[in-house]
Amino acid sequence: MAQINFGGVLENVVTREEFTLDKSREVLKSETVAVIGYGVQGPGQSLNLKDNGINVIVGQRKGGKSWDKAVADGWVEGVNLFEIEEACRRATIIQYLLSDAGQIASWPVIKPYLTTGKALYFSHGFGITFHEKTGIVPPTDVDVILVAPKGSGTSLRRLFVEGKGLNSSYAIYQDATGKAKDRALALGIGVGSGYLFETDFKKEVYSDLTGERGILMGALAGLFEAQYYVLREKGHSPSEAFNETVEELTQSLMPLVAENGMDWMFANTSVTAQRGALDWKGKFRDAAAPVFKELYESVASGKEAERVIAEGSKSDYRAKLELELKEIRESELWQAGAAVRKLRP
């Protein structure tokens, strides 16, 4: 492991130079990896593993959209694409990449195939951490591991094709065989991780649920709405309000922050922008911190998990979700966004 200084805190990380792709192939040479689920993470992880020379198959219900997508991506029925039960039977490592609700529903199907010495792999700590609510309790004689790419499966695949990587966390929940860590790291490199940092299942799900409800999606969407509609109320056009709120951030500033850091961003703007941003940064931090603390406590208490399970299990959830998404999609803010995107060169 390499010891890296993260803001004054030393952390151990695993890089591709230390745990090479050749080593990953060696660790996994006798394994059959079954990717169960072909939704958010399944396509990117399975295709990257296949392109990296790992023996991987896909398990999916035949006849659905995800099965058809797998076929379109080059998976062949009876060769490396199977019904879920058959894929699990053939596998020595089961990558359980269904949605959280899907994992709960399919657990009675998966569990019988977790025979001695196999490994159960997650990319999210939800099912294990909240096992009292999900019912997901693996047998004691299998490895239980996690590799969680810090981004969508689409980004994981895109960066892989570009020769880059998406950073991932990894965790060992249960080491029944003595090789759980090697299996996790080999799969982490195999799916295209830039580097891997250690966590545990609970920390992964707490940070993940906080992040997606917070800065990654919930807070970001809320801030977009707040600024956009203030500008509109003050007489600015939809085009001007959208460009100043969303377009400049996503198309110009965030790529630069990703490349160089926030200090560089501050140093490379006008004095007017620089001074104002520095003066107002603390106000936004102090206003948002109590909300983030409330959010984290809601995650840690299990309230967020309870809501996800309760809502996700309702038969009309998808229909209600579409209504919520339609409201966002048809709002002036995102209708303006659609128009702006069409005008990009």
Query: pLDDT tens digits for 67-80?
Result: 999 999 999 999 99
Mean pLDDT across 199-223: 96
C-alpha to C-alpha distance for 193 and 159, rounded to whole angstroms: 10
21 by Cβ neighbours in 10 Å (0-12 / 13-18 / 19+) ranks as: middle
Q: How far apart are CA 238 and CA 234, in angstroms?
A: 11
* Contacts (Cβ under 8 Å, ≥6 apart) of 271: none
Could you read off the pLDDT of 139-161 as tens digits, one per residue?
A: 999 999 999 999 899 999 999 99
pLDDT tier, 169 (very low <50, low <70, confident <90, very high otherwise)? very high
What pLDDT, on the 0 to 100 scale, is given for residue 3? Answer: 84
pLDDT band at 345 (very low <50, low <70, confident <90, very high): confident
Residue 207: inside a domain:
no
Asked whether residue 195 falls in the same domain as residue 228, the answer is: no
Q: Quote the CA–CA distance of 79 and 231 in Å, as a whole number.
A: 56
Q: Are residues 98 and 15 in the same domain?
A: yes
**What pLDDT was estimated at residue 242?**
97
d(CA 113, CA 90): 9
pLDDT surpasses 80 at 315: yes
User: C-alpha angle 58/216/320, rounded to 5°?
Assistant: 70
| Whether the predicted pLDDT of 267 surpasses 90 | yes
Ramachandran region, residue 151 (left: φ > 0; alpha: ψ -120 to 50; beta: rest): left
Confirm whether 288 is domain-assigned.
yes
DSSP 77: B
Beta pairing partners, 14? 196
Are 44 and 168 in a shared domain?
yes
* Per-residue confidence (pLDDT) for residue 2, from 0 to 100: 82
Q: Which of 129, 168, 162, 166 is nearest to 147 (CA)?
A: 168
User: Is residue 1 very low, low, confident or very high in pLDDT (cuts 50, 70, 90)?
Assistant: confident
The single-letter DSSP state of residue 245 is I
Which pLDDT tens digit goes with each residue over 81-115? 999 999 999 999 999 999 998 999 999 999 999 99
Q: Is residue 328 part of a domain?
A: yes
Q: Are residues 260 and 186 in the same domain?
A: no
Would you say residue 205 lies in a domain? Answer: no
Q: How confident is the model at residue 303 (pLDDT cuts 50, 70, 90)?
A: very high
Select from 67, 42, 68 the least CA-distant residue to 56: 42
- The answer to the question of residue 334 being in a domain is yes
Tell whether 237 and 188 lie within a shared domain. no
Tell me: pLDDT of 19 over 90: yes
CA distance linking residue 124 with residue 122, whole number of Å: 5
Residue 89 inside a domain? The answer is yes
Report the relative pairing of strands 93-96 and 81-82 from DSSP bridges.
unpaired
List, by residue number, the catalytic residues.
124
Q: Has residue 209 been placed in a domain?
A: no
Contact 305, 130 (CB under 8 A): yes
Same domain, 12 and 112: yes
Q: Mean pLDDT in the chain?
A: 95
φ/ψ of 135, rounded to 5, equals 80, 5
Q: Are residues 227 and 305 in the same domain?
A: yes
| Domain span holding position 60 | 2-199
As a whole-number percent, the residues of the chain with pLDDT over 90 amount to 93
Measuring CA to CA, which residue among 19, 49, 35 is closest to residue 88?
A: 35
| 208 within some domain | no
Q: Is the pLDDT of residue 247 over 90?
A: yes
Of 176, 199, 222, the domain-final residue = 199
Are residue 189 and residue 218 in the same domain, yes or no?
Answer: no
Residues 240 and 120 in one domain: no
Please identify, among 149, 166, 199, the residue that sits at the C-terminal boundary of a domain.
199
Q: For residue 144, what is the domain's CATH number?
A: 3.40.50.720
How is residue 21 written in tokens? 């792709």
Does 157 lie in the same domain as 296? no
- The number of beta carbons lying within 10 Å of the beta carbon of residue 10 is 8
Pair 48, 180 in one domain: yes
Of 199, 225, 243, the residue at which a domain comes to its end is: 199
Counting the structural domains of the chain, the total is: 2
Average pLDDT estimate for 54-70: 95
Per residue in 21-42, pLDDT (tens digit) is 999 999 999 999 999 999 989 9
Residues 35 and 161 in one domain: yes
Across the range 12-22, mean pLDDT stands at: 93
Residue 343: how many CA atoms within 13 Å on its side-chain side?
Answer: 10
In this structure, are residues 311 and 317 in contact, taking their beta carbons and an 8 Å threshold?
yes
Angstrom distance (rounded) from CA 96 to CA 61: 14
